[in-house]
Structure 1
Amino acid sequence: MTVLSPRARRLVAAGAFLPLVLAGCSAGSTAPGRSADAVTVTDQWVKAADSGMSAGFGELRNTGGTPVTVVSATSPAAGRLELHEVVPDADGAMVMRPKDGGFAIPAGGALTLRPGGDHLMFMELGTPLRTGSTTEVVLTFADGSSTTFSAQVRDFAGAQEEYAPGHGA
């Protein structure tokens, strides 16, 4: 029986693994990229709230060569999360409503989630969102891939929009 030193065992293991790594990196690969691999999330934060609802914001940047669409989101902080937009109603008042079709992020572009605009609506909060804490958010894309990020909870007094009729909590 041959006994290998720890260094020799590492080299053998690396030699067995290297072809697998190189196969995944070949220039001729035709496998499509996952949306989650092309999207980065920066400046992410969630509005502090004791109960009920809150909202999440940040910048979603698509570094890929094709458009991607966020179709849903989840967080352990909320019973449900909705993708929302703020639009004028028939009387010109700004109202929140679910974003039909999700959040589209153009190839090589970005989408800013901001107060008074597109945002993540945290509904049915399970526990208070306290300033300085963080919460995880999972974004799911149209291709089924997903990405997880942490968002800091911050105080914010603005953006007290109303719901569009029929879309309240």
Structure 2
Amino acid sequence: MKLVKQLSLFAIFTLVVGCATTHKAKVNFDKNEQVNTSSYKTFAWLKESKILAAPADLNPVMKVRVDKAIENAFAAKGYKLVNSPVEADFAISYTVGSRDKIKVDSFPATYRAGFGWGRSYYGGLAVGNETHVRSYSEGKLAIDVFDVKTKQPTWHGWGVKRITSADKNDPATTIKTIVDQVVAQFN
């Protein structure tokens, strides 16, 4: 009986942890070590459109949110936004996109079977495969920094995140969080 209680508690714990799991953004960056960024004080958008290459299905409301989140994230790091890229120390741009993905998990599963039922019958257990198929969307945001004087790419930061229903319900918070995480890596 004690074993049954322990297994029940373990199952409940696993279920709670599984339901509480959030899909965090994975962020990273690449830096051009040939360019010194320590004296940067001002930034500007590389292009008037701000986005490097807009996908065909870009939501214009979402674009405005991303533009503002990027400006605010660099300003929060102490950089000043100027109007002209020629007058700035560095210029920024970004790309966004999403991709529909499918995840397939297949693993052996055991279950209780009555006498003579099921394939691979052995000692009251039938063994088979259990397959779970999930489809989801994954979004990606990449921010690029260019040195104005040398006209060299300086830094490339990106974030990738599985889009959840909570993200769809509150896109502004999701965008801000990911932008802040990506820009936090810039120095």
Structure-2-length-normalised TM-score = 0.31
More helix by share: 2
More strand by share: 1
Structure-1-length-normalised TM-score = 0.33
Larger radius of gyration: 2
